[in-house]
Amino acid sequence: MVLEKREVRRVKLSLRHLAGGSSDETLFSLALPALSAGITAGLCLLVIEIAFGTFIFSGTLAPYSSQGIGLILFGNFAACLLIALIGGYRGTIAGLSPLFVPVMATIAATMNTDAQALFVTTACALIISAVATGTCCLLVGQFRLANMLRFIPYPVAGGFVAGIGGVVCLAALSLMGAGPGWRGAALLEPTVLWTWFPGVAYGVLLYGAVRRWGNPVILPASILLAIAAYHLALSALGISGAEARADGLLLVSTAKGSLWPALWPSDFAHVDWSAIIGQIPNMMILILIALICVIVDVAGLEAAVGEDMEWNREFRAMGLASIIAGFGGGTAATIIVSASIRSKIFRATTRLTGVIAACVVGVALLFGDGILELVPTAFVGGMLVFAGLVMLDQGLVKTRERLPRPEYAIILLIFVVIIFFGLLEGVGAGMAATMVFFAVRLSQADTIASHFTAREHRSNKFRPVPDRAILLAEGDRVQAYKLQGYIFFGSVSALADRLRKSLDGPSRPTCLIIDFSDVSGFDFSAVSVVARFVQRANAAGVRVVLSGLSEKLRFSLEKNIDPSVFSELWLESNADHSLERCEDLIIETWKAGVATMEQHASLLEHTVDDIEHYLERQVRFEDLIETLRPWLVPRNYATEDIIAGPDIQSEGLLLLLSGRASVYDSAGLRLHQCGPGDVIWPSNPAAATETTIVADESCSTMLLTPNSRRWMEKHEQGLAIELYQYLLAEHFRTEAEENTPAEEGSGD
């Protein structure tokens, strides 16, 4: 008795885990929504998949339509069950996507073999496609390549969906007897009208009702009502079931017993492998469409349910499901977004929902051969019309207001090409149009992020007052261009014009900096333009400095610039070092005697006030050091010693007596340079940006420890106030100097 209770408890826990609930939730509260949503989804899938199977296995394959439907339903059953169990989103419903149907129908219609081997060869081609599709998806998920496939342009995906929707609608009309040969009044003849109008009316009304009210019960309820109404109409007209099937008004079962398995091992002896080889292009298209479907479906489900999904996991689940479906004699399948969303509406986001939906399909697969004979042919066409209208709505109608006109035009282009020429041609035309559109848009982006001179934006190196005055007067002789984005043949012409104007202007620069730090990529056209400009600038006597070069770009330029010219280039790691080097050249040239007496006099006139302020600051600093000397401890640092940083234990506040020290951020970029009279603050672990201070030359400092500072605050308050006044003044002075270049600089 105890053992039986344990077994019952274990079964309940297993069911609760399958339902995705916690131990506090009752099994009934979890199972009831899953049962409702699962049965609803299963019935909808069953009818829609029957419609798809009837269309795919029509024409010369019509005598095998029941076996073909069995092939489709088993793929649906296997995919729905496995994805429900191993997929990332609980409540996922899977089945044959409408996007697969036209390609599968093309494979069936163009299979070139004799009548005896036709069905077996077609089924084998679809099974191989399912296994190949599953293998590709499994590899994508296993090697985490999903992100590489997510870059399909939205207009291409939208146009593809719209084109498939149009093809499905036309196929539905053809299936119901309104083929391309029927025109105008011929479609309205009573005998013809009865074959297609009920299905079209049902599909249009169902689409309108779902779009208007959006209630998940509409679809399954309409299925039952439509089939019942059709049979009542046949009964009222005195048409028996046998007569209706003979006249093509009801489906005719071609299977004996269950719908699965559709193939037996002995059937493979009749496979025409040469015909399958001839279908490889169509099979490759089917695999490509399957990959696109997974991307579109996962993205759509992710947006609809408001949850981030693990794409690689979904690819693995889809791949495993398609492989097992193929080896079991079924076709490929993928996530059905609309049915999966209903799981959330029913509050049935559990794995049990998908399992129940799969069971509904499985029951029909094993015992439902007689169900096919109850389905009206017009109803099958109506379901195809409904599916096609949904895709047209998603691809054409809903995107019209959201997309800019050029991108919406790409959707229309793909739609028209697919309708009149084919799927592959439509996708190819869309990709070509998208690339042209992308190239045009990218060429309009300015590759020059900013243009400035050394007068407007100085390096972070500490400069004495006279040197700063020289740069203020002569800084226009250094011009810098900071580039950005991807530079290619479409955008490089504008860059070439700007660079050319800098050489042809009235005041030719002494130095010209081109910074590539923010360049994400380039093509050979960009390399060629930069190489020609460097050689022209060198011939004009302009010193060219290139900064932030990637190793690939440096190698490409070296191969395209004359070696003697390349050897004279200055290559720096970043724009700050480039500016520093150009500033040094300008200052050295000015001091070497190039400047006139008038310029020397003007320099002295403009620097008098700055020199006076600098001397006053130095006197104040030296007086402060003398006053604080009893509480200060000398600290000396050699060149390249780390003075302060996140890994250095801080001893206190450092006052720099002599030497130079640079402050670097975590990326190694110099923020500014400290000189005599500057304060080196202790490293703050809570700061947003970690900084490291390195001695550029031998530095002599005085250390004020926290204990000494606290003693001064308690016993020498006047001295502490004098210290804090100096520190506060230094803080605002440094902040002003750091902000000055940004305020004075000009960006194009």
Can you spell out the DSSP letters for 144-164? T-HHHHS---HHHHHHHHHHH
Number of domains in the chain: 3
Partners of 38 in beta bridges: none
Q: Is the peptide bond before 741 cis (omega within 30 degrees of 0)?
A: no
Tell which of 380, 414, 437 closes a domain.
437
DSSP state of 395: I
Taken as a whole, the chain contains a residue count of: 748
CATH of the domain at 587: 3.30.750.24
- Cross-strand pairs, 547: 515, 572
Measured CA to CA, the distance from residue 96 to residue 333 in angstroms comes to 4
Whether residue 116 is found in the same domain as residue 240: yes
Contact 238, 49 (CB under 8 A): no
**Residue 516 confidence class, pLDDT cut points 50, 70, 90:** very high
**Residue 711, pLDDT above cutoff 80:** yes
pLDDT-derived band at 668 (thresholds 50, 70, 90) equals confident
Contact predicate 423/103, CB 8 Å: yes
| pLDDT surpasses 80 at 660 | yes
pLDDT confidence of residue 256: 60
Determine if the peptide bond prior to 261 is cis (ω within 30°).
Answer: yes
Query: What is the model's pLDDT at position 699?
Result: 92
CB atoms within 10 A of CB 577: 20
| Same domain for 142 and 35 | yes
Whether residues 104 and 245 share a domain: the answer is yes
Minimum mean pLDDT among 23-37, 39-53, 572-586: which range? 23-37
Whether residue 581 is contained in a domain is answered as yes
Q: Indicate whether 16 belongs to any domain.
A: no
Same domain (yes/no): 430, 467: no
Q: What's the whole-number mean pLDDT along residues 61-89?
A: 88
Sign of the torsion formed by the C-alpha atoms of 306, 309, 315 and 318: negative
Q: Is the pLDDT of residue 547 over 90?
A: yes
| 245-250 own/partner pairs: CB under 8 Å, 24+ apart | 245/373, 248/177, 248/195, 248/377, 249/195, 249/376, 249/377, 249/378, 250/373, 250/374, 250/375, 250/376, 250/377
- pLDDT for position 379: 76
Q: Quick check: is 7 in a domain?
A: no
Q: Between residues 209 and 606, which one has the greater pLDDT?
A: 209
Same domain, 626 and 589: no
Range of the domain at 545: 445-595
The letter for the amino acid at 729 is A
| Confidence band, pLDDT 50/70/90 cuts, at residue 131 | very high
Decide which of 595, 623, 645 is a domain's last residue.
Answer: 595
Of the listed ranges 140-149, 531-540, 579-588, 691-700, the least confidently predicted one is: 140-149
Report the C-alpha gap between 139 and 315 in whole angstroms: 8
Q: Could you tell me which of 614, 615, 624, 653 has the C-alpha nearest to residue 733?
A: 614
748 vs 594: which has the higher pLDDT: 594
pLDDT value of position 323:
92
Q: How far is CA 438 from the centre of its chain?
A: 16
Angle between helices 154-175 and 190-213 (to 10 degrees): 140
**Burial profile 347-378: b = 16 or more Cβ within 10 angstroms, e = fewer:** ebbbbbbbbbbbbbbbebbbebbebbebbbbb
Q: Identify whether residues 460 and 401 lie together within a single domain.
A: no
Asked if pLDDT for residue 333 goes beyond 90, the answer is no
CATH of residue 617's domain is: 2.60.120.10
Do 40 and 68 lie in a common domain? yes
pLDDT tens across 471-508, in order? Answer: 887 888 899 999 998 888 777 888 888 888 888 877 78
C-alpha pair distances (Å), 335 with each of 97, 347, 407: 8, 18, 27
Same domain, 401 and 506: no
For residues 252 and 116, membership in a common domain is answered with yes
Looking at the fold, whether 478 and 392 belong to one and the same domain comes out as no
Instruction: Tell me the percentage of the chain whose pLDDT exceeds 90.
Output: 12
| Higher per-residue confidence, 548 vs 174 | 548
pLDDT at 743 over 50: no
Q: What is the DSSP string of 212-230?
A: HH--TTHHHHHHHHHHHHH
Please choose, from the candidates 353, 271, 361, 274, the residue with its C-alpha nearest in 3D space to the C-alpha of residue 93: 353
Is 79 part of a structural domain of the chain?
yes
pLDDT above 90: residue 514: yes
Q: At what angle do helices 101-109 and 27-56 cross, to 10 degrees?
A: 40
3-state secondary structure of 543: strand
Indicate whether 117 and 236 sit together in one domain.
yes
The DSSP call for residue 60 is G
Q: In whole angstroms, how far apart are CA 537 and each of 449, 495, 616?
A: 21, 15, 44
Q: What is the mean pLDDT of residues 723-732?
A: 78
Tell whether 580 is covered by a domain. Answer: yes
Beta bridge partners of 674: 661
- pLDDT-based confidence at 747, cuts 50/70/90? very low
Q: Residue 572 forms beta bridges with which residues?
A: 547
261 and 365 share one domain: yes
Average per-residue pLDDT for the chain: 80
Which amino acid does the sequence have at 116?
A: Q
Q: Which of 575, 595, 615 is the last residue before a domain boundary?
A: 595
Residue with more model confidence, 48 or 367: 48
Q: What is the mean pLDDT of residues 595-609?
A: 61
